[in-house]
Each structure stands twice: as structure tokens, then as C-alpha cells.
Amino acid sequence: MMKYDLDKKPTRGAQRTLLAFSQTMFQLLAQKPFEKINVNEICQLCNFPRATFYNYFDDKYDLINYCWYVLAEKVHIEEADQLKPNEVVIIYFDRLYDLFENNSQLVLAILRHNQISGNLVNSFTNYLRNLAHKMFLEVFGNLHFDVPVELMVDHCSSTILLLIEWIFLKKQPTTRKQAHHYLAVLLGDPETTAVQDSTTEKPTHTGA
Amino acid sequence: MMKYDLDKKPTRGAQRTLLAFSQTMFQLLAQKPFEKINVNEICQLCNFPRATFYNYFDDKYDLINYCWYVLAEKVHIEEADQLKPNEVVIIYFDRLYDLFENNSQLVLAILRHNQISGNLVNSFTNYLRNLAHKMFLEVFGNLHFDVPVELMVDHCSSTILLLIEWIFLKKQPTTRKQAHHYLAVLLGDPETTAVQDSTTEKPTHTGA
DNA sequence: GTATAGGTTATACAAGTGTATAAGTATAGT
DNA sequence: ACTATACTTATACACTTGTATAACCTATAC
């Protein structure tokens, strides 16, 4: 749980401050690894005293969490409960695909200084996985699978993030259509896996 | 990469010291959350000066990594390359199942103070996922799937760890047999899920 | 048994962290 | 415009971190 309550609407001053800190963090992330960034530096760069930083955040991890919140605000799906599980999974994947496409410069910059599967990148993917998890939990409701619902929810959110990591963090360029195919295969969608023969177009994964 | 080189065989003194620090860490983990543990405390408890700690470890994260190494030494599979992919996945799962069963007291104690999906627990599951990943990469070699090999490797290691987390960290008691079934379903094993078309002949991919 | 790595220890230091307090300033609602 | 509330700031403190240095033990090999 973040120190600053995101539910209450912030005053103008608070908005300015929150924005300044998160932007500064993004700026620094594009310049150096997260572990090398310290609170003093952040405050110096955006001209706020340390006391102000600690008014809003417990520590830099709290700030980074807010950064992910800002970045991922757009991926929320409204009225998801009126859709079929299968649809929601694909829609959520597409939202993430958009998110990474629309922020590719930032993502690339961050990856230049922060190891994939390192602490920082993990914290972001965990954040997104969590979002997926919460949403799927609601949508999958009381449906019945061959495995417990919660396990299926875990599996779907994990697999989506796995694929996103594969494409955008491990940088394996993949079209949306191809990605959908992979997703179907990994999630064991019977329609997609078994009916390979009828589809003429084979996914062509060009090495590296 | 750890500060201390695990490949060279340690002298008797080094063994004593490494053991002392890792045991102390395990002891503290059973008492309080990882973030609340600091280097001073560890050194005080096992009667080594801080200087000695920093002879061996960069920081407490380095030590925890060594702890996972100690804990997971037994899960290595020898001559895995002579087995079929399917077998290796199940064998590795069983090793992890054993690991968690044999160390259930420790695991439970750690979970009392450290949130699931928190930093500490994640670092452990990541460690194990990495082990799985390396092993599967070798074994899966140049096999052909409906998706790129590396993606399939990612998926298998993720799914195994997902199931282990589900059973032992989220504490959903599951027999080994049941777990094997879940695993087969999640990995889309055609034999186990639904034997719709027995004529599934894999198209051979020409990709790298 | 003595040389020599390898390991241990005491001590000191610069830097960063998180908390607390009290005084000052901006903002929103009436 | 006034006032209560929310936010900002300066300052200070106790504590942890990681590094450096130099002296001191101790196991192994010759």
C-alpha cells in the first residue's frame, strides 16, 4: 500500500508535486540503474526538499510504485464483467501491447540501464500482473475449469505477462496477430491448438 | 553474480563462516520480515564483525541469494539431457515438491513474516524459476513447438513455479498426483486435457 | 616448522536513510 | 476575503550502509 492515498483527489499543489517526482524518476531511470538512484538526487533534480519527498512516499520503492500507477492508468478495462473470459484475456493483452508500443522509447531507455528480470523491471511486470489478476478474478467468477479458478486466473495473468516480456523486454518483435496465436497456444485454447492444419498461415518466427 | 565464488572449494574456515551467516539469516527470517533485518543484526547474532560479512557478501541480498543456493542444492537434475522434455518438466516439478515438503517448517515460518509475492519470497521463486529455465533450455534444445523454443521454456518454468507457489505458498494442499494433472492441463498436454483429435501431427517449423 | 596465502578483526569514514518538529505558505470552500 | 486544512520547508538526529586500511590469526604445502 502506497503512503499517499490515490483515491482522494489531490489538491493542485499535490498534483504538481506528484507529477514532478514521478517525471524526475522516469528521467533518472533513463539515465542510470534504479539502485544507483537515491532520494537526495531525485529531490535535487526537481528542486524539492527531502522532507517533501517523504511527505508523499515512504521511500524510492514507493515512488516507483506510483510511477507504475501513472504509466498503467490507461490499461483498465471498464465493464469487463460483461465479456467472456477469453475476450477479456485478449483485450487485456492488447491493452498491454498498446502500452508498450506507445511508450517504447521510455521502455528502451529503462532497459539500457536496468537488467531484465532485475528488481526494477520485475516490479513493473509484477504490477501489471497484479492488475490482470484482479480483473480476471472478477470476470472468471464462478466458472468451472479443469483446475481451480484461482489457479487458472494466476495462469492467465502470468502467461500474458510472459508474452509481453518476451516481445517487449526480450525484444522479440512479434505482430499482434502472431502474439494472439502464441497466447492461444500457451493457454491451451482448443480451437487454436488443434486446428493447425486448416490455417494456411504459419507463424514465421525469424531467429533473433 | 555473487561476490563469493561458489565454484572454488572453500577452506574449512570459509565453510564455517558461510554456514554461520546463512544459518543466521534463516533464523532471522523465521522471526521477522526481511526488510527489517540488517547487517549489524546478523553479525551480532553469529558473532562475526561486519568486516567479515563484507568479505563474503556485497549486502544482505547477496547473502539471501547464497541462502537460496544452499536450500536448492538438491534440486539439480543430472544427465537431464538424456530424458524427454515432458519427463524433465515433471521430474523438476517433483524435486521442487520434495524441497518444499522437506522444508515445510522453514517455509511456514518465513511466510509468517514475509508477504507472499513480497520481495523476499519472490527472490526465492525467481531463483528456482531461473534454475528451471537453464535446465529446460538445454534439454529442449532444438525441438520444435508451435511457439519459439525460448518462449516455451519460459512458459514451462513459469508454470511449474506457479503451481508450486499455489500449493506451498498460497497453501492449497494438493497431492502430487493432482498436481501432475494440473500441470498437464496448464501446459496443454494433449493427452491429458481433451483427446479431441488424436491426429495431431506437429507441423515442422523451419525457424531458427 | 616455517613461509604464505587465505581468512579474520578493529577501527574509522563518507554518504544515504527515515523520522521528527516547528514554522511557514498555498489552496479550497464558504 | 477569511479560515481551516493541506502542503512545503529548514533543520537536526540517530542509524545503517559500504568501503578502506592495517594488523592480526590459521590452515595447508613445502
Establish if B160 belongs to a structural domain. yes
Residues B38, B113: one domain?
A: no
DSSP for B31-68?
Answer: TS-GGG--HHHHHHHHT--HHHHHHH-SSHHHHHHHHH
Band of pLDDT at residue B102, cut at 50, 70 and 90:
very high
Instruction: Identify whether residues A108 and A187 lie together within a single domain.
Output: yes
| Cα(A155)–Cα(A187) distance, integer angstroms | 8
**A66 and A152 both lie in a single domain:** no
Chain A span 35-54 residues with beta carbon within 7 Å of strand C: 38-41, 50-51, 54
Instruction: Assess whether B132 and B185 both reside in one domain.
Output: yes
Nine cell digits for residue B6: 561458489
- What confidence tens digit (pLDDT) does each residue in B11-52 have? 888 999 999 999 999 999 999 999 999 999 999 999 999 999
Q: What is the pLDDT of residues B104-161, one digit of tens each?
A: 999 999 999 999 999 999 999 999 999 999 999 989 987 888 999 999 999 999 999 9
* CA–CA distance, A155 with B159 (Å, rounded to integer): 7
Q: A51 to chain B, minimum CA–CA distance in Å? A: 22
DSSP-derived 3-state class of residue A41: helix
Strand C interface, B 7-26, C-beta < 7 A: 10-11, 13-14, 16-17
What CATH code is carried by the domain that includes residue A35?
Answer: 1.10.10.60
Same domain, B114 and B170: yes
Smallest CA-to-CA distance from A77 within A36, A135, A25, A3 is with A135
DSSP class of A34: G
| Residue B15: CB atoms within 10 Å | 11
Which grid coordinates are listed for B45? Answer: 547474532
Contact residues on chain A for B186, CB-CB shorter than 8 A? 147, 151, 155, 188
Last residue of a domain, one of B71, B88, B111: B71
**pLDDT for the residue B192:** 54
Range of the domain at B41: 12-71
Q: Which residues in chain B are closer than 8 Å to A158, comparing Cβ atoms? A: 158-159, 162
As a whole number of angstroms, the distance between CA B159 and CA B186 comes to 7
Grid cell 577452506 is found at B11
Interchain proximity A163–B148, CB inside 8 Å: no
Residues B80 and B60 in one domain: no
Over residues A150-177, the mean pLDDT reads: 97
Same domain, B65 and B166: no
Asked if the structure places residue A2 within a domain, the reply is no
Residue range B63-99, pLDDT digits in tens: 999 999 999 988 888 877 778 888 999 999 999 999 9
Q: How far is the C-alpha of A60 from the C-alpha of A71, rounded, in Å?
A: 16
B28 and B116 housed in the same domain: no
pLDDT(B206) > 50: no
CB burial string B64-76: b at 16+ within 10 A, e below: bbbbbebbbeebe
